[in-house]
Structure 1
Amino acid sequence: MSDSVLTRRVSRRLLLGGLAGVAGLGGTAAWALDRYLVEHVEGTVTDAVAATSAGTFSANGYTSASTSLSIEKVSVGSGADAVTYFVADITAGDATLIRSAFAKDSFGTNIIDYPSSIAATKNAVLAINGDYYGFRETGIVVRNGVAYRDKGARQGLALRRDGSMALYDETATNAAALIADGVYHTLSFGPGLVADGTVVAGIDSIEIDTNFGNHSIQGDQPRTGVGMIQPGRFLWIVVDGRSTGYSRGVTLPEFAQLFADRGATVAYNLDGGGSSAMVFNGSLVNNPLGSGKERGTSDILYLAG
């Protein structure tokens, strides 16, 4: 049971305790069970076509007529200060080859699957965990050009069809306006890490939401983020953590600096912790929490062939 998706979901997202006795605890525990554990499907995805990998794979990269990809493993420090992270440098002649997929091809709350499993259904060249949209009920969610949720709440990231990326205020716009402006994907987690090539000030004191599991994202943590060097050229970085001697994780300013040092003009933080995962050619690249085991999530970003 300890390796089950349900247990992972409880251990990560609920700090309530005693849910095993939910039947005898009354309405509050029943509400918590329904809100944070029970799947609620709001719609199924009908446009999620599996990719066809028409390019050539190498041990740490991929090339095709329209894309190129290289993956670098970086290890620095030692002992308690060791940090290990993975950098995917992606050039996509067609930015719509950067796609999103939902767990079980369904949109809603508490619908999860392992990143590698979601990636396999799309024949993804490369994939990373997304923003875990399914844990919250707010945010603007546009994926593959389709609007699924339109409840602006925080700073988001927009990826346009022309390959450009921008941080934006969700509360100052809406999904229809974003799509009209050429936005193909939005991500809603944060915070923004890099703007105009500079690390964003104050990110070492930001909290994400106020709900269970996301109240604080500070300190040394495993992390996943996306960045853009220039339109059509992207950086996806996954940092492992919580594993002494292998990788402690990084702070948000340290994470932002990784992007800035590699020339990112904009970068954005995604869901992290045990969710941080990178999958390449069907195999898990990183080592989540030093255990080599993935945790279920609601969505991925992936590179189609």
Structure 2
Amino acid sequence: MVRTVVAGLDGSPESRAAAEWAAREAKLRGLPLKIAHIWEPVPAPMAQAPLLGAETQQHWTERIPREAAEGLRLRHPGVEVTIEHSTGQPAEILAKAAEEAELLVLGSRGLSGIGGFLVGSVGLAVVAHAARPVVLVRAGEQAADEHEADPVGIPSAATPYLPVLLGLDPAHADDSVIEFAFDEASRRSTTLRVVAGWNLPPYYTYGLSVDPDFDREVARQQATALAAALRPWRLKYPDVEVVEESRAGSAATFLIDDSAGASLVVVGRRTRRSPLGPHIGPVAHAVLHHAKAPVAVVAHD
């Protein structure tokens, strides 16, 4: 089976930005791009309304994806672009599409109903269920935003990429998440910044025990654990410059704050199950909602 990069398209600015990002990623990976366009049926009474009839349906199901694909082919020569039309529940179809893709790219915000399928709840549902990496892209995201500024202070696709930012918990480091981040940094010939947040025991934080030596020892142990988790990957990817940052505090806050200077933010999602269904996790959830760069969520055991 030929692997592809898949982008969900509903015509919204978010999904168009996602398709552009996906085309750039497909070119970096040397893979074809598949545009997944899903028509979610509307109730019969609504479908007969003047603005929701057959003409509107044809516009959304045919013209929007066709014109988008044509534009992508022109702007990204060498990338094979195909369109796949589907009808049904967007979250289910997109999660299934992700199973057969190298990665799935979605807009992080969208419209509801006939206007678009990538609503926040749908995007989160796909992230929570997809077994393959999912990248969420905000409206207005451009290629230049992922690159360093030139000598006069203007970002340009001709300048080097900004670093890839990885959020990592050394105590639960998963190879698939680390490898994805190293691979993305290597593909972009850029630095990989790895951020690990940790907290002191509650009794120490609340001032019940004040011991600077203990603070320094915890910091040393955390930094050592982070270095150990990354050591084999440094050897596997000698071309990637790695910056390790072990800090006391909220990992989500650090990643959100640092995302403005990143070309891509990478976080993991554990695939554990619970009676309430799949969960994204608090760090990934916060980063998805507030990061200023595209966010890749990589599922792992």
The two structures have a TM-score, normalised by structure 1, of: 0.26
Question: Which structure exhibits the higher relative contact order, with contacts defined as CA atoms closer than 8 Å and separated by 6 or more residues?
Answer: 1
The two structures have a TM-score, normalised by structure 2, of: 0.27
Larger Rg: 2
Structure with a larger share of its residues in helix: 2
